[in-house]
Amino acid sequence: MKSESDDPEGVRLAKRVAELSGYSRREAELLIDNGVVRVDGTVATTPQMRVRPDQRVEIEKNATPQPVPPITLVLHKAAGVRLDLAAPLAGARRSDLDRSGLVPLPRHLVDLRCVAPLGQADSGLVVFTQVHGIERKLVEDAGILEHELQVEVQGEVTPEALQGMRPARVSIGSQREGRTVLRVAIKGPQPGQVSATCARAGLKVLGVRRIRLGRVPLAGMAPGEWRYLHPDERF
């Protein structure tokens, strides 16, 4: 019977890494999960991939096998886009504003929970996390967490209309061509609540964009861009 080592297609990467490192196969898989293994100079993140004897497999110096730390992602959702929770980053690109230094890994897309969703028509900041503490914060404290929104409405907005949107804190951001952009700060809005509040004040909503959640801003990301939440950021 032909052994795996005799296979012209090569052996599993995890097996080669285990042989090179002296670690167990499971520990070798953790090294690969962490993005510290390169095949012919390219980071390899799939333990099952096959490598031939002539291919160069390298492990970063001083790398140790450990579970990949859980991460949180923030995404600028475009208006009209329905997010696929099974593939939340499909079609999106990493923002140049990302300063985390993290290497995107397949493990980062496993068990992501959307803890700050938006309606399909709305745009702006959406949060996905694997971190139980952040999930608990955004779910359990949802009613007291402040959202800052840019709400575009038709026509000019009178002081009386602004008063009619209480208890939200509302100010006029800009006015042009028969449209007004409002800056709305409100704690724990339910889906559709801001649009309903505007309607009660006699305002027709043209678009809603969330630009801040707690203390985390959208901060210049274009629609369809995402970044990792940095460890020093707090909601």
| Each residue's pLDDT expressed in tens, for the chain with a length of 235 residues | 445 555 667 999 999 999 999 999 999 999 999 989 999 999 998 999 999 999 999 999 999 999 999 999 999 999 999 988 788 888 999 999 999 988 888 889 888 999 988 989 999 999 999 999 999 999 999 999 999 999 999 999 999 999 989 889 999 999 998 999 999 999 999 878 898 999 999 999 999 999 999 999 998 999 999 999 998 999 9
User: Does 9 fall in a domain?
Assistant: yes
Token code pair at residue 13: 């990467």
Identify the pLDDT of residue 207: 95
Judgement on whether residues 89 and 55 belong to the same structural domain of the protein: no
Token code pair at residue 155: 């026509």
Identify the pLDDT of residue 84: 85
Judgement on whether residues 153 and 193 belong to the same structural domain of the protein: yes
> What's the CATH number where 223 sits?
3.30.70
The CA-atom distances, in angstroms, between 170 and each of 164, 192, 206 are 10, 17, 16
Judgement on whether residues 139 and 152 belong to the same structural domain of the protein: no
Judgement on whether residues 99 and 10 belong to the same structural domain of the protein: no
Q: In the 8-state DSSP scheme, what is residue 4?
A: G
Q: In terms of residue numbers, what domain contains 156?
A: 146-213
Judgement on whether residues 91 and 48 belong to the same structural domain of the protein: no
Q: By the 8 A CB rule, do 168 and 185 touch?
A: yes
Identify the pLDDT of residue 1: 45
pTM for the predicted model, two decimal places: 0.82
Domain count, the chain: 3
Q: By the 8 A CB rule, do 76 and 222 touch?
A: yes
